[in-house]
A and B are shown apart, each in its own frame.
Chain A
Amino acid sequence: MADGWWPFRAQVRETVMDALFDQKLMAALFFSAGYNTTLVTIGAALLGASAGAVGAFMMLRKRSLVSDAISHATLPGLALAFIVMALATGDGRFMPGLMLGAALSAWLGLLALEWVTRRTRLTEDVAIGAVLSVFFGLGVTLLTVIQVMDTGRRAGIGGFLLGSTAGMLRSEAELIAVAAALCGVAVYVLRRPFTLVSFDPAYAATQGISVRMTDLALLALALIVTVIGLKVAGLVLIVALTILPPVIARFWTNRPGRLPLIAAAVGAFSAYAGAVISSLGPGLPTGALIVLVSFAVFVVSLVFSPLRGLLAGQMEMLALRARVHERQGLLAMARDEPVYDRMTLRVLRRAGFIRADGVPTPAGHAAAKAAQREETLWSLYRRLFPDEAAAGGYHGLTPINDALPSDIVRDLEARVAVH
């Protein structure tokens, strides 16, 4: 075991140390590593931004994995375009031609997907799985045809499977950058219909927005992003560019207007960082690095997000526990009952409600009285309006003056006074 593991670990450390003290990294980070590398990193960043923004709406529409079907469905088109161009010109590696083929077959895949979900009783996940596996299988079969035809020039298509920016032509990088920027603009223009259809398709329809056309536009944008991203991230991993950034963005905002912006920023950052790291040496595939960078961002978000992160959840739970102990302790004090629970005692002491020997302070007496009032009003409210109380999810720890309208609170107080 040690034999296999240690050399590898040493290699990783070496790579990391190299990277930290390497001029190449600094140069690539700050756009001074030559025109081509700079262009590729900028192109990747633009691509990441567009993919993130498109993906945000795909996620809101709960169709994240449709991109997976799109990306796999490009393979037969790529292979056919390669075959046709190789037969016609002798070289099948002309990138715009390959992209066109990829886009056409991905579009066919989308049509098949839509047709299966609309015309049969199968659900969308089945349609996605069927399209992606069958198109990919067909593509693999066509790849073996290419192998038979012409064994030397297959490298042109291998790069699409896992993505490689090494040796990318300047014209290719420019094409990717321009197309990605245009896609981003299109998403910005269409953001309102996209948002409406994602949240309430029926309402969108009453506003004169065609749900079907909006969905098609979104899918078309996803398709364009996928096709131009193939060469950078690779066929298997391009789907991550549309899934990971929106999921990350969801950790940082609850507002639909901000979601695509954050997703675009995260996408741009991961694609940029991934492209830079991958330009440092061999054995660092671009697609994999982009995905791993954004996965790292994801893990950080999962732990530290203030909205739904693990830490925030833990702290919220601890705070709630302290409030429950405080309330129960104060109620006991109001009834002149002794408190034994150690956590309750600690909470009360820290709040200054009791002295070190357990005797209530004046502040403690006041707080106990207030707590008892809260408890009485809340329990009365719960008895009188059980449905509203259940629907509101009040656990009785929120100050009642903050949670309920003042006239209701006055009414409750009047009823308590009568009894």
Chain B
Amino acid sequence: MNSDFVMLNLPPLVVGVLTAVCCALPGNFLVLRRQALVGDAVSHVVLPGIVLAFVITGSVAAGPMLLGAGLAAVGSLVLIEIIRRVGRIEPGAAMGVVFTAMFAGGILLLEQTNTGHVHLDVEHALYGSLESIVWFDGEGWHSLFDSAALAQLPPQVPRLALTLLAVCVFIAVFWKELFIGTFDPGFAATVGARPGLVGLALAVVVAVVAVMAFDAVGAIIVVAMFICPAGAARLMTDRLFPQLLWSVAFAVISAVVGYCLAAFAPSWFGFSHALSAAGMIATVAGVVFAAACLFGPRRRRAGQVA
């Protein structure tokens, strides 16, 4: 049982938690800046990125795929901005134009090129395959201290750990700029905090996180984790740093509870199959979000009555 757990369940659990925290941290700023749907748009355009990378390189190696996805994500942000400015269109509509068109292009490309022998499909892109992350050398808890076994960790684990580190460093280094740029862009501009530049950097961080997380867990959980933990945390406190901590806590809870429910709950009812872990994690995040909406101490606007 124990050895099974370390081999089969620990890696997806760790990847789920890392992804959730990676997304939740920048999600706080998206929520406060009313850009929550940027995460949604970016995670949709990842698909055309990886398909294009596949068409050009002909391989499903992680490197080109991540590069393609990253370029597509950043490209979509630039395109949204251009369309918004040139066409003078509401940002929501501009976003809708770009991500649906790119997603449609990705699907067409996929249908035209995929001959069935390559594992690359739309459902995988949307739901991910958290369950398929396995640590073959993890034969028990002792493997955690065995450097040979650790070297064989699924590549998603170190990749996401590095991403998380990068996100933390970004937030720590640009804390002041992010803070004032989020709450008062006008003031930020007058004191030279470059709100436009910092906003762009935030968007790029979101894109990178979406791409890294997407590789492991699929688009849907990425969107849920950008928005739900941060939204719930916003209803718990009025201060930014505690809000970040709350969001991390909510993200971890959603990932752990969601994964365990998906992996183990069906067997309580006598089913042998597990449910979709990504879907379950998003669902649990929604339950947490709903609970915060109902009971969060800071859930109301100033002056808003029940």
Residues of A within 8 A of B (CB): 1, 3-5, 8, 11-12, 15, 59, 62-65, 68, 112, 115-116, 119-123, 125-126, 128-130, 132-145, 147-148, 161-162, 236-237, 239-240, 243-244, 246-247, 250-251, 283-285, 287-292, 295, 298, 302, 308, 310, 313
Contact = CB atoms under 8 A, between A and B. Distances in A.
A136 B282 contact: yes
A284 B97 contact: no
Given A136-B282, A240-B104, A292-B101, A126 B36 contact: yes
B36 A237 contact: no
Interface centre among B83, B107, B273, B274 (most CB of A within 10 A): B107
B282 A138 contact: yes
A139 B293 contact: no
Contact of B97 (A15, A237, A247): A247
B282 A121 contact: no
Interface of B: 31, 34-37, 39-40, 44, 54-58, 83, 86-90, 92-97, 100-101, 103-105, 107-108, 111-113, 122-123, 126-127, 220-221, 223-224, 226-228, 231, 234-235, 262, 266, 271, 273-276, 278-283, 285-286, 289-290, 293, 296, 298-301, 304, 306
B207 to A, nearest CB: 16
A287 B106 CA distance: 12
A113 to B, nearest CB: 11
B83 A141 contact: no
Given A1-B57, A68-B40, A247-B87, A240 B96 contact: yes
A122 B231 contact: yes
Contacts of B90: 59, 62, 64
A59 B55 contact: no
A130 B288 CA distance: 11
Contacts, number: 230
B282 A292 contact: no
Interface centre among B83, B93, B105 (most CB of A within 10 A): B93
A128 B36 contact: yes
Nearest to B262: A141
Given A4-B56, A141-B279, A288-B105, A133 B112 contact: no
A138 B287 CA distance: 11
B50 to A, nearest CB: 13
A126 B108 contact: no
A289 B108 contact: yes
Contact of A291 (B34, B100, B300): B100
A8 B113 contact: yes
Which DSSP category, helix, strand, loop or mixed, fits chain B's interface?
A: helix
A134 B224 contact: yes
26 contacts: A12-B112, A112-B290, A119-B299, A120-B301, A121-B304, A122-B234, A123-B34, A128-B36, A128-B37, A130-B227, A130-B289, A133-B220, A133-B223, A137-B224, A137-B279, A140-B276, A237-B103, A237-B104, A244-B101, A247-B89, A250-B87, A288-B105, A289-B108, A295-B97, A298-B97, A302-B83
Contacts of A295: 97, 100-101, 104
A67 B105 CA distance: 20
Given A119-B300, A137-B283, A144-B276, 6 more contacts: A122-B234, A129-B226, A138-B283, A141-B279, A141-B280, A295-B101
B279 A243 contact: no
A143 B35 CA distance: 30
Interface centre among B89, B105, B278, B280 (most CB of A within 10 A): B89
A85 B176 CA distance: 56
Contact of B40 (A132, A240, A247): A132
Contact of B126 (A15, A140, A239, A287): A140
Per CB-CB distance, the 3 closest pairs between chain A and chain B, nearest first, are A137-B282, A134-B286, A140-B279
Given A283-B112, A302-B87, A141 B275 contact: yes
Contacts of A63: 92
Contact of A1 (B56, B231, B273): B56
Nearest to A295: B101
A3 B96 CA distance: 34
Given A126-B227, A129-B37, A134-B283, A237 B56 contact: no
A90 B57 CA distance: 45
A302 B122 CA distance: 30
Contacts of A161: 122-123, 126
Contact of A137 (B54, B107, B266, B286): B286
Given A64-B92, A65-B95, A121-B299, A148 B235 contact: no
B228 A139 contact: no
